[in-house]
Copies of this chain bind each other. A is one copy, B any other.
């Protein structure tokens, strides 16, 4: 519900929680539950996620937000002197305010293609790295980071994911998938992945809640009983241990009941595809072809200015020829009527 004159497509966290998620917080509010992730809903939500991932030996942990999760997982799983490989457009390379470096780790960038890291490029990087006799004077890569969907809304195919997984195994690298928007990726028509396949192909990933229907929360999945020892202490050391852990666990319990997480995701992608059709039909230029809830178009300054009078969007940079890259996002909340209004504005 817009509290102002604008139509809101600037991001996927502009409204609160999905009503069912909120209701579950209401329903459980007066229960006496122990703190710091020892409550029974943490157990319950973990079990639901393990089932959804078809990984009974997974370890699950709930955190508040994406930056926190990226920094914490990377720092907890790497040795202190190791770096993490990311596409040059990767979220941790561009948008985390140095949260990774704050924990002492270098983000090592490799040029990506459509926002994606290519397995062969990682393979070459590692091979060249150890071919250099002076490699001990540089940062040894210990992890590969990708996000699903990517910063540009694109998705990895099963073949691409498996290729990355194989390269990581070959070179003994931890494979970490940032799934802040994983629901939208999996809901995409172009995507041939599901949660069990993702879980089977990486060491650790997370299932985003903040951007997919929760008030806050990300569920980290250590896919193979490989959660670092003393993890509760590490989480607290990072300032990320929530006293009322129920806030996270209850929400995820609901998101992973009755297929809600996937319905929310599918709804948003459906809305985005409608938006995409409209954009195409109106002749808008796309920056990239995205099959998920984020759509990127290219506008000149005049058009940008004009649209900004009625529409909230995100500025995502400049093209080589100086035009604006504009991002439009859908979410659980986006209604057909919003898309219709958008159509009128466009």
B-binding residues in A (CB < 8 A) = 1-4, 6, 8, 10-11, 13-17, 19, 22, 25-26, 28-36, 40, 64-72, 75, 79-81, 83, 94-99, 101-102, 104-107, 128, 132-134, 136-140, 210-211, 215-216, 230, 232-234, 236-244, 246-247, 312, 314-315, 317-318, 333
Contacts and interface: CB of A to CB of B under 8 A. Distances in A.
Name the prevailing secondary structure of the A interface residues.
loop
A308 to B, nearest CB: 11
A137 B97 contact: yes
Copies of this chain assembled into the complex = 4
Given A29-B16, A29-B22, A242-B216, A106 B95 contact: no
Contact of A233 (B11, B140, B230, B244): B140
Contacts of A1: 30-32
A65 B239 contact: yes
A334 to B, nearest CB: 11
A25 B215 contact: yes
A145 to B, nearest CB: 15
B34 A236 contact: no
Given A67-B236, A132-B315, A14 B28 contact: no
Contact of A13 (B11, B19, B35, B233): B35
A144 to B, nearest CB: 17
Given A10-B34, A16-B25, A22-B25, A68 B240 contact: yes
A99 B236 contact: yes
Contact of A104 (B3, B69, B101): B101
Given A98-B139, A239-B65, A3 B16 contact: no
B97 A237 contact: yes
Contacts of A139: 97-98, 101, 233
28 contacts: A1-B31, A3-B31, A10-B34, A13-B243, A13-B244, A15-B33, A16-B30, A64-B242, A65-B239, A71-B239, A75-B80, A81-B234, A83-B101, A96-B236, A97-B236, A97-B241, A98-B106, A101-B101, A101-B105, A128-B318, A136-B230, A137-B236, A137-B241, A138-B233, A139-B233, A210-B244, A215-B244, A216-B243
A98 B71 contact: no
B32 A2 contact: yes
Contact of A97 (B70, B233, B242): B233
A99 to B, nearest CB: 5
A232 B138 CA distance: 10
A10 B66 CA distance: 31
A235 to B, nearest CB: 8
B232 A136 contact: yes
9 closest A-B pairs by CB: A68-B239, A16-B29, A97-B236, A8-B32, A98-B139, A1-B30, A101-B106, A13-B243, A97-B237
Contacts of A35: 11, 13-14
Given A1-B30, A15-B31, A69-B239, 8 more contacts: A6-B32, A8-B32, A16-B31, A32-B312, A68-B239, A132-B315, A136-B236, A216-B247
